Each structure stands twice: as C-alpha cells, then as structure tokens.
Structure 1
Amino acid sequence: MRLIHTSDWHLGRSFHGVGLLGAQGRYLDHLVDVVRQEQIDAVLVSGDIYDRALPSPDTVALLDDAVVRLLDAGAAVILSSGNHDSATRLGFASRVLERAGLHIRTTLESVGTPVTLGDTHVYPIPFLEPSLVADELGCQDRTHAAVLRAVMSRVTTDQRSRGGQSVVMAHAFVTGATTSESERDISVGGMGAVPVEVFDGVDYVALGHLHGAQQPREHVRYSGSPVAMSFSETGHVKGSWLVDLDGAEPSFTFVEAPVERQLHRLRGNLDDLLAGPTYAPAETGWCQVTLTDPVRPLGAMERVRSRFPHTLQLLFDGPTDQIAARSYAQRTRGRSDIDVCCDFLEHVREGAPASDEEREVFASALAESTVARRRRDDEGEVGDVSVGRSGVA
C-alpha cells in the first residue's frame, strides 16, 4: 500500500496581498504527476483544504479539478476537515462521492469508521472543536487532548476487530512540534496541545495543521503546507510524505514540491542591501526587508524594489524605531489570545494583573466566541469572524 500524505492546502490563501491560487494549482499538478509516476493507492489530505469557510468559486473549481484528476490517476482520495474548513460545506454529498473513490470525513459521527483499502484501514479524524463535542464524547476536560483521546479510543477499538494496518489522519498541534506564524491558533488558554502518546498503537499518523514538515515521532509526521504562507517559513522545504506500508515497517520518502518563488529575509543598511553581491539570489524571490538605517530613507520601498522587485514587506529597525513605541502587532506577537486579553486588563488597571478567576472568565468567553464563529461558518453567514489575533492566519 502506497500513500501520499499532504495537508494544509489552504486553497484561496493570499500572501501579503499576493494571491496564491496559481502556485497552489501548480502544486496540485505536481501531486497528480507523483500519483501517476509512483502508482499511489491513496492521497490523504489532513485538513485545511480551503483557507476560508466560504471559498470563492475559483477556489472550489480548483479543488474539483484536482480531485477528478487524482481519481483518474488511479488513487482513492481521502479528505478530512481542518479548523479553516466549514465541516458542513466540505462534507456536502460525501456519501454519494464515496462511491467514486472520494472519501470526505467532517463529522464526529464518522470517527471510528475507516476507509478500508485492502488490508489497510485509514481513520480520518476531522478537526473537532472541544466546546462542541466534549460532552457528547463524555470528556471531563474541554481540551483537544481529551477529545482526541476519546476519539482514538473509538479508533483502537475498531482496529482490534479488523486487524491489518492502521493509519490515522488528524488535524492538531502535537507537543514537540514547531509552529510558524501562518497557522491559526486552535488553543484557548493553552488547551490546544496534544501529547504525541495519544497516537500510540497505529502504524502511521498523518497530521495536519502545522505548516512545516516534521516528525514528532518516526510514525507520527506533519507534511506541512505545500506552499509557504508567511516569512516565518523561510527555509522550509515544502512537499509531501510518500508512505510505503508494504514492508514489515513503514518507509517514508519526502517528495519535494515545486517552488513558485523562494522566500528571503534581508536585513541591513539600505545602501548595503542595494550594492551587496551576496544578496543577488533574492532578486527573483519574495522578500521581507528590514532596514537598519539610523534615519528612515526617503522612498525606501521604491528603492528596495529597484533591486528586489518582489519585496512584499518592508520593516524598519533603526535606532529611532527602537526608541519609539512598538506596534500593536509587535507587542502581541507570540502571545496567546488569553494573554492578550489579560495584558489589556492589566494595562487599563495601570499594572494590576489579571487574577486566576479573571483568566477563567476570559477563557470561557474566548471558547464561546470560537463556537459562535464555527456555527456562523456552517450556517452560511458572510464574514470571517475570528477570535483575537487568530483570524489573521
């Protein structure tokens, strides 16, 4: 059994105002070619198929075309929903489509029922909001770890009755993995982390959510996003995992994806950047440029783009800027939503920090806001309602 594990396509995403649909389409062309050349049996896409709950018609058409070509290439296609997807929209007509080889899993009810391919059983676990499903699963804690423990109990019970090999697809933040700036925070008050031990007992775990390819354990892997979506992903090697389950132990091959433009982070004095020969490779790439001049140069972006025409972000970090107050984005970077709320409360109270009880009130309010957004997405209201800063991802 040969599988391709991919995730986090985020179809319809833009990168600092530049649409990525063309680059995403070229990745899907590449994926179809790999399926044909490597005689892949199934394509596993572990969540965040779309970037928004209400994707544009062009985005839907791109997915439709890709799925048809993957099926024509001879592979089954298994999609599970992520935190960016509308479970209701993505799952529409899933029972009918399953007859054609397209398996879409978006609901709690589907968890524990595998897609069986020969003697391999694939268990897709869609992203499950703890506030919505914890009670139904009998979880005492409303955390992602508690929810995934409960659904993995269903999976292992079913697997024991079937035998063969087992593969789990999940969309989660597993402890020990590395994040980037382009992922939407799925935690509230630190309740999003899932111990890797939750996935013990299966042959392979195909994870989604984090955008860098990595492996918290040998059999537990993130494919990462196939296209970069933030400058924090500079240096990432994008691609998919080819998983071969035919031997005694699974074997893994990373298949690199085509790169639309390389990412470059440049830092220095403007004159040095414009003249330095070491910066030549950045002339054709997407650039984030940080200028360290003591005084902000006039017409800085125009001058930067005279050499680096694909500069998307221009930052300043000279002595004057270090003295000046930091921007809101800089002050909140790396802070969780609940920490931002508590920081604000401390600010308006002139230094009095939030108490444990107040943190609990914020955590409850943020959880309710997350649930409201997901319900809005599924009920079809227009607009992207987000929690705190997490909506930027």
Structure 2
Amino acid sequence: MRILHTSDWHLGRSFHGVGMLDAQRAFLAQLLDTVRTSAVDAVLISGDVYDRALPGVDVVRLLDQALADITAAGARVILTSGNHDSAARLGFGGRIFEQGGVHLRTGIEAITAPVLLGEGTPVAVYGIPYLEPRLAAPELGPDVSPTHTGVLGEAVRRIREDVARREAAGAPVLPLVMAHTFASGGITSDSERDLSVGGVGAVPLDLFSGFTYAALGHLHGRQELAPNVWYSGSPLPYSFSEARQSKGGLLVEIDDGGLTAVTPVPWKAPRNLQVLRGTLEGLLEDPHLGTAEDAWCQVTLTDEQRPPKAMERIRSRFPGTLVLAFEPPSGSRGVNESYSTRLARATDDLDVCCGFLDHVRSREAAPEERDLFAEVLGKVNAAEVSK
C-alpha cells in the first residue's frame, strides 16, 4: 500500500502580493506525476486545502481539476478540513464524491467512519477535521475540555474504540489517523495561523502512539516527530522563513505488518526564495549572489543611513525583491532612539523638521532639503509677524 501524505495546499494564497495560482498548478502537476510513477493508492490532504473560507471561482476550479486528475490516475483522495477552510463548504457533496473515490472528512460525525484501503489487513484511514475547541467541545460531550488537547483527545479516543471493536469482531485494521493540529515538538513557520486562541495550542505527541501512521497538517515545514508521526509540510513555501525548507510530499508505504517506509518526495517550486542581508552597495556588487537574481527576495539593508531609492536600486539587480527592510548596525546614529528623545535635543523649528524627516526615513536631511525647510519656515514666520 502506497499513500502520498500531503497537507496545507492553501490554494488561492498570495505571496507578498504575488498571486500563486500558477505555482500551485505546477506543484499539482508534479503531485500527479508522483501518483502515476509511484503507483500511489491514495492521496491524503491533511487540512488547509484552501487558503480562505470563501475561495475564488478559479481556485475552486483548480481543486476540482486536481481531484479529477488524481482519481483518473487510479488513486483515491482522502481530504480533511483545516483551520483555513470552511468545513461546511468543503464538505458539500461528500456522500456523492465517495462514489468517485474522493472522501471528505469535514465533520465530527465522520471521525469514526474510516476509509478502508487494501486487501488482507486493510489500512483504515481516520480523518479528523480541524476542531475549533469552543465549538467542537459541546458537540463532543459535556465533559470534554474546550482546549485543543481536550477535543482532539476525545476524537482519538473514539477512533481507538472503533479500532478495538473491529479487532474484537475479527476484522483487524492498521489504523492511520489524519489531523490538522500543532503537536508538541513541531517547528513552526511564519506563514501558519496561530491555533492557540480558544485553548492551549500544542497537543501531546503521545496522542498518536499506537497508530500505524499519523499524517499531520498545519505546520509548513516537513518534519518527523516520531517514526510514525510526520508533518508533510506545505508543497510550496508561503513565507521567507521557509526559504531553506525542502518542499513536497511524503510517500508512506505500509504492508500487513505495519509501516515499512516514509520517503520524502521533492517538488520544485517555480521560483526559489532568497533572504539577503548587507549594505546596498555590497549586495549589488557581490558576485556570489547570482542565484538570487531570478528568485523572490527578502532584503535587509544594513547601511548606516537608509539609501535613497533603495527599492529601485535593489531591484535593478534582484527584480524579484518583494520585501525590503532597513536595520542599521547597532551603535549607528539614532538606532533605538525614540522620536521624543530626538525632539528634546532640537534647538529650533528647523531642527524639529529635519529631525522628523530623519526619524521616519532613517536618513539625515540633505543640504537642499534643509534649505527648503528653512525657506518654508521663513515664510511662515514672516506671515505670523505680518498678522
């Protein structure tokens, strides 16, 4: 049995104002190639299929095409909702989609309705949708704590009971659980939405002990928390904090004896990410930064003063610069100094004006700018005297 574990597609997301739909089409093409070349039996999507509860029409069409292509290639799809998805909208038509090999798990009622894969001892895939603690706890029972650990723990308890019932009935299964959550020990990225509202964010890792495999979603970096507990990570980078992460999916292999292998499957992004830091002139002249010229870039300038036309100049070499920050070195003039402190040092109105300009743009007023301030202040003062 070969299962492709993915999560956090975030279809429809933009990256610092740049639409990513074409990049998402590209990763889906690579995913489909993996399904075909690796003879994948099922594709798991562990939440955050969409980036927002109300995706655009073109985004919905992209998912529709992806599901059609995957099932046409011979694989089933098991999909759970994440904290970015609208569970009700994503789950629409689920009973009909089952007949075409697409299994949607977006509600509490389906937690103990596994998708059975394979012959012999089947793999039972239990899909747990994202459970918002304050909303899910009352539905799960009066004694369930309205925390992430409380609601997920109750969902896992019910799954364990279902596995035990099957075992007692002489129909054992290899249980695989999908969950969209933040498990203890996971490493976060800047592009994930905080889950801590409504309860303690992290859930104990031992919730997933005893399962053949736990296919987790939410954290965007691929990582192994235990031999049987993995985050696949997002298929594309969605923040510059993910610049050094390897993106793709996980090929999970299971036989009658249990889990046999978990193999990372890399998918190449159409454009790399680069995080650059240095003075403007240093970055423009550095011969080792050639690979950044075709990348999306986050640039932090460390000049003593903010260079004029900084974005225009940095884009002359790195046209894919999306984020530009300025962090002068420690000890530079005015660094970490409040505007009120600067104002207290001012000796006249001209100092106040020039100090404000310096404060908001991190660069002293040029001589011609001081002259212009002086001219305007002179006219204002003359007007006041004439009244």
Superposition TM-score, scaled by structure 1 size: 0.81
Contact conserved, 2:4 with 2:40, CA < 8 A, in 1?
Answer: yes
1:241 maps to 2:250? yes
Q: Give the counterpart letter for 1:129 in structure 2.
A: E
RMSD of aligned alpha carbons: 1.4
- Give SS of 2:255's match: coil
The aligned residue for residue 82 of structure 1 is 82
Q: Shift of residue 190 of structure 1?
A: 6.0
Secondary structure at the aligned position of 2:335 is classed as helix
Aligned to 2:27: 27
Q: How does 1:162-181 map to 2 (within 5 A)?
A: 162=166, 163-181=172-190
In the alignment, the residues of structure 1 paired with residue 36 and residue 334 of structure 2 have an alpha-carbon distance, to the nearest angstrom, of 53
Structure 1 unmatched ranges of 5 or more: 327-393
Corresponding residue number in structure 1 for 2:56:
56
Moved more, 41-50 or 106-115: 106-115
Map 1:46-195; keep pairs closer than 5 Å. 46-118=46-118, 119-138=122-141, 139-162=143-166, 163-188=172-197, 191-195=200-204
Cα deviation for residue 160 of structure 1 reads 1.8
Distance in 2 (alpha carbons) for counterparts of 1:109 and 1:247:
28
Q: Where does residue 323 of structure 1 map in the other structure?
A: 336
| 1:161 positional shift | 2.5
Residue number in structure 2 paired with 1:364: none
Which residue identity is paired with 1:160?
Answer: A
- Counterpart CA distance in 1 for 2:225 and 2:28 is 26
Counterpart pick for 2:235 among 226, 239, 248 = 226
Worse overlay, 239-248 or 303-312: 239-248
- d(CA) in 2 for partners of 1:99 and 1:206? 24
Structure-1 residue corresponding to 2:323? 313
What corresponds to 2:361 in structure 1?
none
Deviation at 1:135, TM superposition (A): 2.2
Structure 1 runs of 4+ with >3 Å offset: 319-322
Q: 2:134 corresponds to which letter in structure 1?
A: S
2:381 is matched with which residue? none
- Structure 2 Cα separation of the partners of residues 141 and 296 of structure 1: 52
CA distance 1:291–1:130, change in 2 (3 Å): same
How far residue 166 of structure 1 moved from its aligned partner, in angstroms, is 1.1
Contact map agreement 2:133 2:198 (CA 8 A) in 1: no
Amino acid at match of 1:211: H
Is the partner of 1:227 in helix, strand or coil?
A: coil
Offset at 1:141? 2.2
Q: Aligned AA for 2:246?
A: V
Q: Aligned in 2, Cα 1:282/1:190: closer, same or farther, shift over 3 Å?
A: farther
In 1, distance between residues paired with 2:146 and 2:63?
33
For the residues of structure 1 that align with 2:322 and 2:102, how far apart are their CA atoms?
38
Take 2:178 and 2:338, find their aligned partners in 1: how far apart are those partners?
Answer: 44
For each residue in 1:268-298, what CA deviation from the matched residue of structure 2 results, as whole angstroms up to 9, or x when unmatched? 1110100011211111111000001011101
Return the index of the structure with the highest Cα Rg.
2
CA displacement, residues 141-175 of structure 1 (integer Å, 9 cap, x when unaligned):
21111111101011111112221211100000000
Q: CA deviation at 1:259?
A: 1.5
Tell me how many residue pairs correspond in the alignment: 326
Report the secondary structure of 1:146's partner residue.
helix
- 1:353 is matched with which residue? none
Looking at structure 2, the residues matched to 149 and 41 of structure 1 have their Cα atoms a distance apart, in angstroms, of: 29
CA pair 10-324 structure 1, distance change in 2 beyond 3 A: farther
Distance (whole Å) between structure 2 residues aligned to residue 58 and residue 228 of structure 1: 21
Alpha-carbon spacing, 1:164–1:325, altered in 2? closer, same or farther (3 Å): farther
1:262: Cα distance to partner?
1.1
Identity of aligned residues (%): 53
Q: State the distance in 1 between where 2:338 and 2:197 align.
A: 28
Superposition deviation, residue 117 in structure 1: 1.3
Local SS of the residue matching 1:99: helix
Maintained 8 Å contact 2:134/2:198 = no
Shift of 1:188: 2.2
Q: Deviations over 1:329-386 (max 9, x none)?
A: xxxxxxxxxxxxxxxxxxxxxxxxxxxxxxxxxxxxxxxxxxxxxxxxxxxxxxxxxx
